[in-house]
């Protein structure tokens, strides 16, 4: 007696239907997401894909290819210079970059999507969506912001277990240090120092108006949101530059960085323990270095 084949046929048809639904969803969901993005940004924005970037920018701004070229050049140079020492991983997934025509649009978007405080920032990186948002600026001013936000993205993506709880001075200091990367001939020199910022910090320190290093490294996110935020960003970038280029402190700083990459916040005394000195002694050496750098 033959068995009833109808249940088997029904199961096959059911699986085929599920497969068809999944295929349709794979096609429809990206289109739906792009449609929602277009509605959110408005008709004056266009979407262009270039070299692993999905760029939303004002129409006819011709930014996509330029952004992709410099984003790629920066990440490649960063991996070449510091890939091993900072345990960086290549960015392989598509990155969404939104470039807003005005700062007001950027601020509205940030508050709506992230509740982000942009009082002292020209752009932001969203770790939840691995995306970057910028304000449309002349390209020579936009490039450091691209480098800055790309640094945040690369650091987070390279950390085991997802974005870690970086100390704010370290996360922003690395980004400020690397935003000063400069093109020299056919290569991009990663990292740099603003001589003007160095001179300003030295002048402020002479009258006790700078942010002491102990407060800088322990002040947390609020220090980078308050009235002293511009100075905090400057000092953090200069401190990272000093530690990354110091023969005495570089190895200790890299040990500290490796601890920061791990899940959970690093204890407050970690930096001093890794460097083998106190913040007060470190500050004296740092200020002496800044005097040389600032001329």
- The domain of 193 spans 187-294
Whether 66 is in a domain gets the answer yes
pLDDT digits (tens, 9 = 90+) for 170-203: 999 999 999 999 988 778 999 999 999 999 999 9
| Residue recorded with tokens 């030295």 | 202
Residue 240 φ/ψ, nearest 5 degrees: -60, -45
Triad 215, 141, 62: Cα angle to 5°: 140
Predicted pLDDT at 26: 53
Q: Is the same domain home to 268 and 195?
A: yes
| Residues contacting 280, CB < 8 A, separation 6+ | 213, 214
Q: Which tokens go with 81?
A: 């210079």
Of 41-50, 79-88, 232-241, 284-293, which range is least confident? Answer: 41-50
Write out the two tokens for 210: 């700078």
Which is more confident, 21 or 70?
70
Count of the separate structural domains present in the chain: 2
At 99 the pLDDT is 94
Question: Is the sign of the CA dihedral 77, 198, 135, 109 positive or negative?
Answer: positive
Band of pLDDT at residue 9, cut at 50, 70 and 90: low
13 pLDDT band (50/70/90 cuts)? Answer: low
Residue predicted with more confidence, 219 or 115: 219
Closest by Cα among 221, 241, 242 to 232: 221
Which domain-ending residue is among 109, 131, 163?
Answer: 163
Whole-angstrom Cα distance, residue 94 to residue 128? 14
Q: State the pTM of this model.
A: 0.86
CA atoms of 137 and 145, how far apart (whole Å): 10
Mean pLDDT of the chain: 87
Residue 286 is predicted with a pLDDT of 98
Say which residues have a Cβ less than 8 Å from residue 8's Cβ, sequence separation at least 6: none
Of 163, 198, 220, which marks where a domain is finished? 163
Domain closes at, from 163, 179, 201: 163
Q: Are residues 71 and 115 in the same domain?
A: yes
Start-to-end CA distance of the chain, whole Å, equals: 98
Residue 16 covered by a domain: no
pLDDT at 1 (0 to 100): 44
């Amino acid at each position: 007696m033959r068995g009833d084949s109808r249940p088997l046929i029904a199961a096959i048809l059911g699986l085929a239907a599920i497969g068809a639904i999944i295929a349709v969803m794979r096609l429809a969901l990206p289109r739906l997401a792009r449609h929602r993005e277009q509605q959110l940004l408005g008709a004056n924005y266009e979407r262009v894909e270039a070299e692993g970037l999905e760029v939303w920018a004002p129409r006819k701004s011709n930014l996509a290819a330029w952004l992709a070229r410099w984003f790629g050049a920066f990440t490649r140079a960063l991996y070449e210079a510091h890939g091993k020492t900072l345990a960086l991983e290549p960015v392989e997934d598509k990155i969404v970059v939104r470039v807003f025509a005005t700062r007001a649009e950027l601020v509205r978007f940030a508050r709506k999507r992230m509740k982000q405080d942009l009082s002292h920032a020209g752009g932001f990186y969203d770790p939840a969506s691995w995306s970057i948002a910028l304000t449309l600026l002349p390209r020579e001013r936009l490039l450091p912001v691209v480098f800055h936000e790309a640094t945040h993205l690369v650091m987070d993506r390279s950390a085991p277990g997802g974005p870690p709880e970086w100390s704010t001075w370290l996360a922003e200091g690395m980004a400020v240090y690397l935003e000063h990367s400069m093109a020299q001939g056919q290569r991009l020199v990663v990292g740099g120092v603003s001589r003007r910022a160095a001179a300003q910090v030295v002048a402020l320190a002479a009258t006790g108006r700078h942010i002491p290093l102990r407060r800088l490294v322990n002040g947390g996110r609020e220090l980078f949101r308050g009235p002293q935020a511009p100075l905090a960003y400057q000092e953090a970038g200069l401190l990272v530059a000093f530690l990354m280029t110091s023969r005495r402190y570089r190895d200790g700083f890299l040990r500290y960085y490796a601890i920061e990459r791990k899940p959970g916040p690093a204890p407050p005394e970690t930096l001093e323990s890794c460097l083998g000195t106190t913040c007060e002694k470190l500050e004296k050496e740092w200020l002496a270095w800044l005097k040389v750098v600032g001329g």
